[in-house]
A and B are shown apart, each in its own frame.
Chain A
Amino acid sequence: MAETVSTPVENPSRRDFIYIATGAAGAVGVGLYAWPLIDQMNPAADTKALSTIEVDMSGVEVGQQIVVKWQGKPIFVRHRTQKEINEARAVDVSTLRDPQTDEQRLVVNAEGKYEPQFLIMIGICTHLGCVPIGNNSGDYDGWFCPCHGSHYDTAGRIRKGPAPKNLYLPPYQYLTDTLIKIG
């Protein structure tokens, strides 16, 4: 520049340092500011507060299924008949696509015993998220997904159709023999 008055040349690295420090501080600030903008889309406190529910199964008759909503998803609570239990246990597990025994589909109660009559599952087809039809539907007397024709047996295991996995189990525990806490 024409009017530049000659000043003693300073070590240029000092200038570089202040630029780098400023840039770094700015980058850190933007990064920290971005987190609230992202985190606000995560589940809010009231949503999280409803993430556990208790289900009383004493009113569910043998052969009946109730559907409760947990975290926005349908939960199938089925009171199985002895016939359904027997069918589920008669299968050769090694032939299954997603091998699981019937007991692996259950959770022990407060005394450490299984309650095989109660089957609790997330009612969402593992193929593409439709809700299967219950009441001994499909080729295996369990559930049948109308979207793409997946058949589940009386333990909710995938037997036929495109779904890759058995119906998922929600995290739950028995509070009493007929009262469970999901979540």
Chain B
Amino acid sequence: MSSYPGYDPKSGFEKWLDARLPIIRLGYDTFIFPTPRNLNYWWTFGAILAVILMSQIITGIILAMHYVPHVDLAFDSIQHIKRDVNFGWMLQPMHAVGASMMFLAVYIHMFRGIYYGSHKSPREVLWIVGVVIYLLMMATGFMGYVLPWGQMSFWGATVITNLFGAFPLVGESLTNWLWGGFAVDDPTLNRFFSLHFVLPFAILGLVMLHVWALHVPGNNNPTGVSVKNVDKDTLPFHPYYTIKDAFAIVVFLMVFVAFVFFIPDALNHPDNYIRANPLVTPPHIVPEWYYLPFYAMLRAVPNKLGGVITMFGAIAVLFVLPWLDTSKVRSMRYRPLAKLFFIIFVLACIGLGWAGAKSPTDLVFATGTDAATGAPVGFSFLWFARILTLYYYAFFVVILPVLGLVEKPKDRPESIQKSVLKSAPEEA
């Protein structure tokens, strides 16, 4: 363990503080931490997410200073922020675009985890804490989108809260409880604002647990091979990965900034510039892009309760993923079949997102025209979504469990060190 001697307080003050509040030791142990030397850029998204979370909290606190959670004033107060508040024209899009950027990063982070087997033993709890964070992000993002009180805010809130009405017996009481009334209205807006403000701090706390759970088994790595020799296989997180993460963060910020300053409304729906009107439904309700795959699953099932269960089940299945994936090999680099199914899985998720943005009756492609009406007929998005939903579930509950038992993996490197050396050096 010669590379990681641990924190050694030098000055008198450091010794004094270390005996009372070992906060410097905490920082030291967090950052001077053995990290596999072969992490690639897919591993930088954890740090990117931490930065976006802080950005969201900071801009969120600022917006809350100017926002008014009232049905008559919420819409105008957003415009007040964008027009009159100093730099409000920049801070409001930073928060709105930031939500999208956070989901973009979290999806990459999750796909990376599945591909390289980061959810497998001994990192199951790390993975589960991550899924809880993702769930809270979904709730926070949803409630945040309601706050501007545009048409999509209102009708998105109406549709999603009505999902809870699907539950037998308690459905109606549950929705009335959520609304604080008999429809989405002022009480709903106020409680959503309160929860939207506080949940990010719960997320922050869970992120700390997530990092803690990471520090016990240590990072996974692209080979999936466990660290065998700390000196040879690892590097201290700081400075090696702090600098690599920092570089990746700056590159990611360029994408973020391009959206904020040049196309701030690209991810927003024009209807959300129309004040919420409980009497008029927009012709086409679509949620934010990051919910679209789940929205497609919801609509793929003809039964209301069935749709709700399918949708929530798609997230619930992630909790048991560590036990569904039976392969002893972590990284799909060495699992050609799993890799193939994984790529199809990613494309299926994107396809579900596409289906979620379309009307179920729209056609993916037309095969001809109806003889009677002349309307085009063909493969509809409804069936497209159904097939992809089936694949989504099959990937978790059939493909991964079975593959682990039948697939013959390729040879793996003996150690992390061996995998990265271009020229095998003499053992010193």
Contacts and interface: CB of A to CB of B under 8 A. Distances in A.
Contacts of B423: 5
Contacts of B91: 36-37, 40
A44 interface: yes
A39 interface: yes
Nearest to B62: A40
B266 interface: no
Contacts of A41: 65
Interface string A22-46: 0000000000000011011110111
Contacts of B65: 40-41
Contacts of B254: none
Given A3-B417, A3-B425, A37-B58, A45 B232 contact: no
A36 B87 contact: yes
A19 to B, nearest CB: 9
Interface string B59-88: 000100110000000000000100111111
B231 A40 contact: no
B84 A3 contact: no
Given A3-B417, A37-B62, A44 B84 contact: yes
A9 interface: no
A139 B312 CA distance: 75
Contacts of B58: 37
Interface residues of B, number: 21
A90 interface: no
Interface residues of A, number: 13
Contacts of B88: 40, 44
A108 B85 CA distance: 36
Contact of B80 (A2, A3, A39, A46): A46
A46 B87 CA distance: 14
B90 interface: yes
B62 A45 contact: no
A2 B425 contact: yes
A39 B65 CA distance: 13
B428 interface: yes
Contacts of A42: 86
Given A2-B231, A2-B428, A3-B417, A39 B87 contact: yes
Given A44-B85, A47-B84, 19 more contacts: A2-B427, A3-B425, A5-B425, A36-B87, A36-B90, A37-B91, A39-B87, A40-B62, A40-B66, A40-B88, A42-B86, A44-B84, A44-B86, A44-B88, A45-B83, A45-B85, A45-B86, A46-B80, A46-B84
5 contacts: A3-B417, A5-B423, A44-B80, A44-B88, A46-B84
